[in-house]
Structure 1
Amino acid sequence: MAKNTNSTAFRRIDVDKYSEDNYKEDAENETITEGPSESEVMSLISQNKQIEALKYVLANAPLGNKNQAVRDAALTLALRVMLSFKTSQIEEAVKQLDNEQRDILMKYIYRGFEVPNEKSSAQLLVWHDRVFNHSGVGSIVRVLTDKKKV
């Protein structure tokens, strides 16, 4: 049974400051990258270092960047890197990524589904399958609920 303590301490909390309408992102704490360098990516691909190119693209993803042109350019580079892999190499590449990199990769995969072309859809489905096998449903949920888009 509850005991009446006549305490009013809980009434001193300003619940209005926690309202969803007053919520603002902490943008000053984030570092916004300008995206990967096309020359660096093309250099790595030409040297048959696709895994290093993939890691470079994922490390320099323009997360939180509001400039759509920068995000589109990064998507183009990420798709170019993913399409440069042979299907048999995808499993090994995904194994070498950590969870955060896999989540960013999954973001690029979903963005790639938004702009399909002849070859990309089938290859992106293979990438999606391999990332899903390693990261599970959690990766998909994190990508779909994250406010920071690529």
Structure 2
Amino acid sequence: MSKNTVSDRFRKVDVDEYDENKFVDEEEGGENQLGPDEAEVDSLIRQYPSFIHQHVHNLIKSCLSRASRGNLMGALQAVLKNPPINTKNQTVKDRAEGLVLKVLSSFKSTDIEKGVQSLDKNGVDLLMKYIYKGFERPSENSSAVLLQWHEKALSAGGVGSIVRVLTARKTV
């Protein structure tokens, strides 16, 4: 049999206060978030490595058309640097999503793994948020690109990355 207790402290706790369906996010500071800097990302995408020597210039000129599209790793870092997570302004979030998709589409399929490996754990989780956001509204060729990125991000972040994205309250 159970022992009767004199204590009734447990009755003073309002358990309905902790119901997650009634949760209201009142975090401050989201109004000033503007998302990633579009000009910085565009300049990093278009940036070509500069070389001083003339004899190297001709070799690089022939390789640029095939191999290099700019500083895509820097563009990826820049676009993930200031995500509009705390803001409720949907236009800022849409602009940031479009910018991320632009950067992800600029990568060659062989460079995707290097791009994912350059990110830390939080960066991979943020990338996964943008990938799933891109899956919500597919465009012309975005699904194939996003699936490639998802494969590499999954191998880097594991299943835990997917769980963290799907259970996160704050979206991008």
Task: State the TM-score bracket (shorter-chain normalisation).
Answer: 0.7 to 0.9
Q: 1:62 to 1:30 in 2, by over 3 A?
A: closer
Q: 1:149 to 1:3 in 2, by over 3 A?
A: same
1:9 matched to 2:31? The reply is no
Contact 2:128 2:150 in 1 (8 A): yes
Count of aligned pairs between the two proteins: 150
Partner of 1:129, secondary structure, is helix
Contact 1:32 1:64 in 2 (8 A): no
Partner of 2:33, secondary structure, is coil
Deviation at 1:20, TM superposition (A): 4.2
1:122 matched to 2:144? The reply is yes
Q: Distance in 1 between matches of 2:29 and 2:137?
A: 32
For the aligned residue pairs, the C-alpha RMSD in angstroms reads 2.1
Look up the match of 1:38. 38
Partner of 1:24, secondary structure, is coil
Partner of 2:110, secondary structure, is helix
Tell which deviates more after alignment, 11-20 or 44-53: 11-20
The unaligned stretches of length 5 or more in structure 1 are none
Structure 2 length-normalised TM = 0.77
Report the AA paired with residue 46 of structure 1. Answer: R
Q: Larger C-alpha radius of gyration, 1 or 2?
A: 2
Contact 2:30 2:88 in 1 (8 A): no
The percent identity for this pair of structures is 51
Look up the match of 1:105. 127
Contact 2:37 2:78 in 1 (8 A): no
Partner of 2:138, secondary structure, is coil
Higher helix share: 1
The unaligned stretches of length 5 or more in structure 2 are 48-69
Report the AA paired with residue 120 of structure 2. Answer: D
Q: Distance in 2 between matches of 1:27 and 1:135?
A: 27
Look up the match of 1:87. 109
Deviation at 1:12, TM superposition (A): 3.1
Look up the match of 2:166. 144
Structure 1 length-normalised TM = 0.87
Q: 1:41 to 1:29 in 2, by over 3 A?
A: closer
Deviation at 1:92, TM superposition (A): 0.9
Look up the match of 1:24. 24
Deviation at 1:30, TM superposition (A): 6.1
